[in-house]
Homo-oligomer: A and B are copies of this chain.
Amino acid sequence: MNIGDVADLSGLPAKTIRYYEDIGLVEPLRSSNGYRSFRQSDVHKLAFLGRARALGFTIEDCRSLLKLYADTDRASAEVKQIAEEHLDRIDCKIAELTEMRATLSHLVDACAGDHRPDCPILADLAMEQKAGSISKASG
């Protein structure tokens, strides 16, 4: 199978598939004309990678997961650990973004958004605290 077909089947761009070969995630054969020649197992691997990446696993996570997948003597604990660490990362990111969101939406709500220059968003970024108005929500 040529790269175009595999791209269609796996949903990954051909560029990405070449990149995955570059970094050693897949090792397609080569036809006599130099074209990459993908086996079913390669397509399977690439689909695996596509789903792992869609779940946000890093490339290095993917590499480990592929290795574990191939190793029928694996302990599921190893897989679970990778997934749990990733879950923690996701939770951290969500927490971070949620906090940003809170501050930002607060500021956006406070901004008139009209033709006048007065803007609480800029005021906050510049920390223009007038005496007596220092009441930052202790955050």
Contacts and interface: CB of A to CB of B under 8 A. Distances in A.
Interface of A: 44, 47-48, 51-52, 54-56, 65, 68-69, 71-77, 79-81, 83-84, 86-87, 90-91, 93-94, 97-98, 100-101, 103-105, 107-108, 111-119, 121-122, 124-127
8 contacts: A55-B100, A55-B103, A74-B119, A76-B113, A80-B108, A80-B113, A90-B100, A91-B101
Interface of A is mostly: helix
A94 B91 CA distance: 10
Contacts of A73: 117
Contacts of A81: 113
A78 B119 CA distance: 10
A127 B111 CA distance: 49
A114 B100 CA distance: 38
